[in-house]
Amino acid sequence: MRPLIIAANWKMNTTPADAGELAATIAARTEEPTVTRVICPPYVCLAAVRDALVGKNVGVGAQNVHHELAGAYTGEVSASQLNGLATWVILGHSERRRDQFESDALIGKKLARAISSGLRPILCVGELLDERESGRAVEVVATQLRGALAGNDVDALIGGGFVIAYEPVWAIGTGRTASAADAAAMAEAIRAALAADLGWGKAADAVPVLYGGSVTSANIAEFLAEHSIDGGLVGGASLKPDEMAGMVASAAVVAKARAAAEGKPA
C-alpha cells in the first residue's frame, strides 16, 4: 500500500524568527499517524523548523539541492550541507524550471545526488496551459520523466522512497485546479510511463503520485477520492494551520478507508 503524503512547500515565505512556531503549530494541528507529513521551508529556516519538529514525526524537506557535493557554485546548497537539516527534497519544481531554467537532465543529476545522499526526493512534473489545451499534456510529462529518470537506478529510487508530484503549471498559485479525473488520468499515465517507457514494470505501482496546484482543505477530498492519487504537494494553503489541519484530516480518512479496503490496519 502506498503512503498518503501531505507535503508543504513554503516557497520563499517565512523567516528563521517565525518558521519554527508555524511548523510547531501545524504539527500540533495535524497529528495523524496514518498520514506522512512533510514541511519544506526555505533553506534559511530549515534549522528552526527541524528544531521545532523534534519528536513530532513530521519530515523536513529542502526545496532544491545542487547536484555536486561541494565547489565553486555561488549561492547553491549541497546535499552534504543539508545533512542533519532535511531528509526530503523537492526537485524540478516548475518555478525553478521557469526561473532557473532547470532542465530534465540537470534534475536527473540532482535526483541521483539526493538518493545517494539519503534525501527522499519529490520530483515535480507538469505541463503548461497551452500544452494541455493542445492535447500534449501526457506526452510532455512523459518526456520530463524520461529526461530526469534515464540513468537513475530504479531500485535505488524505490528504496529511497521516490515520490512524484504532478503539478500542472497553470494550476500553481492560480486558484484554478485540474479536475480530479484529469489529475487521476495523469497519475495513471505517469505510472504507465514508468512501467513501459522506462522499463520499471511492477515497481511503478510502488511510486506515490501527489497532485499539486491550488490544493486547499476545500478541494483535496476530490483528488484523494481517486485511487491513483496519494496526497498533495501544497503551496499557498500550506502556510495556514487551519488549511493544513483540514487537508491532513481528509487524507487520514482516505488512508483509513484504503487500508480497510485492503484488509490492513491503518
The set of catalytic residues is 93, 167
Share in percent of the chain as helix, strand, coil (round to 5): 45, 15, 40
**30 scored as a contact of ligand PEP (CB under 6 A):** no
Q: Which three cell numbers stand for residue 137?
A: 499534456
Would you say 14 and 40 are in contact if contact means Cβ atoms under 8 Å apart? no
Indicate the residue among 20 and 61 with the shorter CB distance to ligand PEP: 61
- Taking the complex as a whole, the smallest distance from the CB of residue 193 to ligand PEP amounts, in Å, to 21
**246 scored as a contact of ligand PEP (CB under 6 A):** no
**235 scored as a contact of ligand PEP (CB under 6 A):** yes
**243 scored as a contact of ligand PEP (CB under 6 A):** no
**6 scored as a contact of ligand PEP (CB under 6 A):** no
Query: How buried is 247 (Cβ within 10 angstroms: 0-12 exposed, 13-18 middle, 19+ buried)?
Result: buried
Indicate the residue among 144 and 154 with the shorter CB distance to ligand PEP: 144
- Name residues whose C-beta falls within 8 Å of residue 71's C-beta, 6 or more positions apart in sequence: none
Considering only residues 189 through 218, tell me which ones interact with ligand PEP, judged by CB under 6 A: 212-215
Indicate the residue among 118 and 173 with the shorter CB distance to ligand PEP: 173
Phi-psi region of 151 (alpha: psi -120 to 50; beta: other; left: phi over 0): left
Residue showing cell 494541455: 132
Q: Which of 15, 11, 41 is nearest to 27 (CA)?
A: 41
- Taking the complex as a whole, the smallest distance from the CB of residue 183 to ligand PEP amounts, in Å, to 12
Indicate the residue among 208 and 235 with the shorter CB distance to ligand PEP: 235
**167 scored as a contact of ligand PEP (CB under 6 A):** yes
Residues that bind ligand PEP in the complex, under the rule CB under 6 A: 9, 11, 167, 172-173, 212-215, 233-237
